[in-house]
Structure 1
Amino acid sequence: MSKPPVGSKANPSQFDVLPKLAEDEPYFVIRAHDPMSSALVELHAYIGAGQAGAAHNKLAEIMALTSQKPPRPASSPKYRETFAISLAMEQWRDANKD
């Protein structure tokens, strides 16, 4: 039997933050099932590493992927909740500065 992939529930990354989350800390999960998941995670890595050129190229790739299907309507509950999570994250950080 092969080992489950790194970053999975069965084989968490050494940097897995789920066990470290505060009870009231908002979070957002991107699953491999999402067709843009790998590109979004790669974009995050490029930005974190300060690789602006690679980040720009990856963002262009993401934008090309998203242009291939109609956008989710602004009235979509999933769309609205995503922005609510983003706002909650910002507010949580402001309230929990070290």
Structure 2
Amino acid sequence: MEEILQQILKKLDELSTDVKRLESKVDSVDNKVDNLKSSIGTDLTPYIEKNVQHIDESNERIIRYVDDKTDALNKRVFAVETDIQRLTRQYR
């Protein structure tokens, strides 16, 4: 049981790390877009809005993916906890 819980926690940590890495990449892209806009000096608003929209859509997909994984892991944890409770009651 402990091993399963440790694996679940490890997976959640990995997902958290992946999300942080993606957030960092999004920030980097935002900074690059700002730098490009400054260096070009033209109105890039339509392009920026399109890129921001694309980033938002990507973020939504990532969030749904992480939520799905978290839900699956929570179900596994619940099943393990239920088994532990059942076994605990049997040995009392």
Q: Same fold (TM over 0.5)?
A: no
Where relative contact order (Cα < 8 A, 6+ residues apart) is larger, the structure is 2
Which protein has the bigger helix share?
2
Larger of the two Rg values belongs to structure: 2
